[in-house]
Copies of this chain bind each other. A is one copy, B any other.
Amino acid sequence: MAPNNPIYQEAFSKYKDKIIDGRLISGKIESGLYGRVLGLKKKGIIPSVSVILVEGDKASSIYVRNKELSAQRCDILSQKYSYPATVTERELLNKIDELNNDTLVHGILVQVPLPAHISEKNIMNAISPLKDVDGFHPLNAGKIFTGDSPFYPCTPYGIIKMLEFYDITVKGKNCAIIGQSNIVGKPLSIMLMNRLATVMSLNIFTENIKGFTRKADILISAAGKPGLVDGSFIKKGCVVIDVGISRVGGKIRGDADFEGIIDKVSKITPVPGGVGPVTVSILMENTIKAAELLK
């Protein structure tokens, strides 16, 4: 699964010691799942995830494809349900209801964003908390506060796993998060507080944002602005976790100006090959957990 992007290839050879290798971590997570899948199969349970995709968003189609490929690698059954952009909320709710009641389905996820005429909130609330492998149902989200959610949202939990993999402790460290979304910024901030980090949560209205990011030992950027995080944003030795995924001239780019900051950082996630693959493998872990909990 080596990427063809030459910049990425160069990054790996030239800056090997600084790269937080998402594909490596994803591979380790997936390897750790094989035994659990086998254990389930011995009991006659085939772990299964159902993915609902509303067509129209090109990136969403790619994400769903990556999830299907990861499921294949993990020997998890994945079933995709595609709908045209004109689908009604009722149709999606009916499908969710059907999947909630299907004992052979362990995980359900609806790829976001959804078209404007559909309430993401209504959709997320309709998924059974027991099958909510994206961790967006309020019952599971609420357990983020107490640190005992069965299914943590995949991207923030993947970030925690990446830091752990490289023995980067967060307790007492200054962590800056650019972006306050329900999917990344907000849950991640609580998950870092649970680990006793100092957390700076920043958004586009933050005055003098660099005054915060320069204090960060760990900077997580989920702004979706390619090249935003340049050398002026960070202090020397900072760890940069790049959640941004933007398409610039046909290429995938993160929020970080990778080449511009590589000398200054101690560790950095590349884009692609960083947060993305780990997020997907956490989804598989959540699916297997759902199957184990339902058994």
Contact = CB atoms under 8 A, between A and B. Distances in A.
Contacts of A142: 137-144
Interface in A109-161: 121, 137-146, 148
Interface in A176-215: 180, 182, 185-187, 189-190, 193, 196, 198-203, 205-207, 211-212, 215
A39 interface: no
B121 A182 contact: no
Contacts of A205: 171-172, 196, 198
Number of copies: 2
A237 to B, nearest CB: 14
B206 A201 contact: no
A148 to B, nearest CB: 7
A23 to B, nearest CB: 30
Contacts of A202: 198
A44 to B, nearest CB: 32
Interface residues of A, number: 36
A158 to B, nearest CB: 18
Contact of A201 (B141, B193, B215): B193
A187 B185 CA distance: 14
Contacts of A187: 145
Contacts of A145: 138, 141, 182, 186-187
Contact of A138 (B139, B182, B199, B215): B139
Contacts of A200: 198-201, 212
Given A189-B189, A189-B199, 8 more contacts: A139-B139, A172-B205, A186-B193, A189-B190, A190-B190, A198-B205, A200-B200, A211-B215
